[in-house]
Structure 1
């Protein structure tokens, strides 16, 4: 809350969801943690400095990447190796304090944080809007305290502005999911009228991909399981839906729907081996398999027999979360009413329940935690 001078009253501690017992038996608990100061050292990767902003988050999305970090099932160091206890990378809120060098923000500005925490901005990748691939790009919620914590630091130069007309519960999930799938759609090069297929269409990333692809003029097919996912996908713009719990040969059904030739692009937002195995079979000649979802290490292969690659001129492309520009473009779709994340809101005290629900795979759309309830 701001005082009569327009300054925010910043507490010494704040609530945060912290992970206990990293690994297969992890759990999340809500407890008090210190509120950081701009310049505090929270990682061995960067020295303290006056170039940060302090953001009070109003909302955070819950992403399956958070589950991966807590399970330790990706080939990366543990959160605890960096002294981090709170994951999360889909935060939206308001700037409440500035580092002494910060000139491009003011207290009260709305701002968000994304999976990538910062980059060098002095290399070819950064100059070409691919800064998430920069060698010096670090990850919030892994190497720095993430958006499960209400007050978080963010480098001023890599903090995302949230446009008017996009509320925090919408903006939070777009910081990762919306940005990620916008980037993949852009990288695919698909054109209006092309067939775009989304294995995992009813999930947090997939359901935003359905909307964005529709807004870009593509013909959209959703692949997922269950009536709830089907209803969501058809409501959001799918021209057809294939239920993998009812259809024996999903790939054949997709090919049939897509003019009998297959999809121009298959955007694998699901995280299981079967989705990746089926994707190459869904494409037409010169089709593209876009790898988005992250399966646990060693559980899936993105590819097929080389004869299929040769015979279909098949392209397999991986894309990460989008750049600052990609995220801004996704937010602009939201501001125009063309991207509306479907979410269920949980109060902060029930964050552990939200995490458990997502881990169980029973979520249609996105789960968002309200820090103020």
Structure 2
């Protein structure tokens, strides 16, 4: 099934396995995966980024459909193509550097999501026959194996060429964190000069969002409630206003913004849209409190017990609430090009594959930014 001009490959590879929930990853050697579908591509993984969802999955909280164990995590990674199936897209060739998101691998192509294509309500959807929202697809690193390994089989329909100016580690973080916050910003439906808030601005998605939003010409307010993420957000040196939620309450901030804009009525003061990234009711309430009347709240996080929503905000203030998961492959390619053009890059710490458990320990410190496995680093 593979082309004949592929480079010679080793017989085995190293991979990090989650053998049981709430346990460390286990590094061991296994055979290199083989191509099984006409759309398959084999890549040598160059970088694999750690996401909050990896932590949720490892804790056994990926409900109602936890993965089967043992499991190879990571749904945002990047690599180099080393083999292609005969039916893989002609857009790719051996040696291409690509980014790989989690969704969607081996989509059914026929469900209502795959059949829909672009619509007036969703102009950024992929053409009919493929959808990141397919109801019967695999998700690399979640329902299927992901990028915490040296080689991975991916679907040629789900990947994108990495711009030359983006290193593998920079590309990897854009495959979930990047495209997710970029898509959430698009769902805010704002024009340059309007105001947007990012709750959780010092985290992996949040600090990328600060950069994307300011480069889009939006006036940005970033909010966090811990010293390290707040300092990380301030160190980006964007024109965003960074707010410590422990010190400034939402109502005061909204009034200050309104006065800056020459507004007289409290209902007209505040943000046009806000993006909720933390799994925190306080964070959700703070974000909604920053909105002006008729504002939009875009929810990205999905806490196990959900959020309490004030009917008064929805009815009397006409606040709209929408969810945002990931972006289409069209949006993913747009994210990569925008990041390359505007030099949007994550603040990150890198680790070799053998030290994935050290990376996880670092993640739980909650210091913000992104943590990435860089396959080029020595053990």
TM-score by length of 1: 0.88
Equivalents in 1 of 2:325, 2:339: separation in Å?
20
Question: Which residue of the other structure, out of 357, 360, 365, is the alignment partner of 2:362?
Answer: 357
Q: Does 1:168 align with 2:165?
A: no
Equivalents in 2 of 1:244, 1:176: separation in Å?
26
Matches within 5 A, 1:22-171: 22=21, 25-39=22-36, 49-80=37-68, 85-104=71-90, 105-118=92-105, 119-122=107-110, 125-126=113-114, 127-128=117-118, 129=125, 131-171=131-171
Seen in structure 2, the aligned counterparts of structure 1 residues 158 and 282 have a Cα distance that, compared at 3 Å, is same
Structure 1 position 75, deviation (Å): 2.2
Structure 1 position 339, deviation (Å): 1.3
TM-score by length of 2: 0.87
Equivalents in 2 of 1:216, 1:340: separation in Å?
15
Asked if the contact 1:277/1:301 (under 8 Å) is kept, the reply is no
Q: Does 1:368 align with 2:367?
A: no
Equivalents in 2 of 1:258, 1:86: separation in Å?
46
Name structure 1 gaps, 5 residues minimum: 40-48
Equivalents in 2 of 1:294, 1:357: separation in Å?
22
Structure 1 position 121, deviation (Å): 4.1
Structure 1 position 6, deviation (Å): 7.1
Specify the alignment match of 2:296 in structure 1.
288
Equivalents in 2 of 1:294, 1:33: separation in Å?
34
Tell me the secondary structure at the aligned position of residue 327 of structure 2: coil
**After alignment, is 62-71 or 266-275 more displaced?**
266-275
Tell me the secondary structure at the aligned position of residue 309 of structure 1: helix
Structure 1 position 72, deviation (Å): 1.9
Q: Does 1:254 align with 2:257?
A: no
Specify the alignment match of 2:122 in structure 1.
none
Equivalents in 1 of 2:113, 2:6: separation in Å?
38
**After alignment, is 121-130 or 275-284 more displaced?**
121-130
Asked if the contact 1:291/1:302 (under 8 Å) is kept, the reply is no
Tell me the secondary structure at the aligned position of residue 54 of structure 1: strand
Aligned length: 350
Structure 1 position 308, deviation (Å): 1.7
RMSD (Å) for aligned C-alpha atoms: 2.0
Q: Deviation string for 1:16-70 (max 9, x for gaps)?
A: 2211321xx332222222210111xxxxxxxxx2320001111011001111111
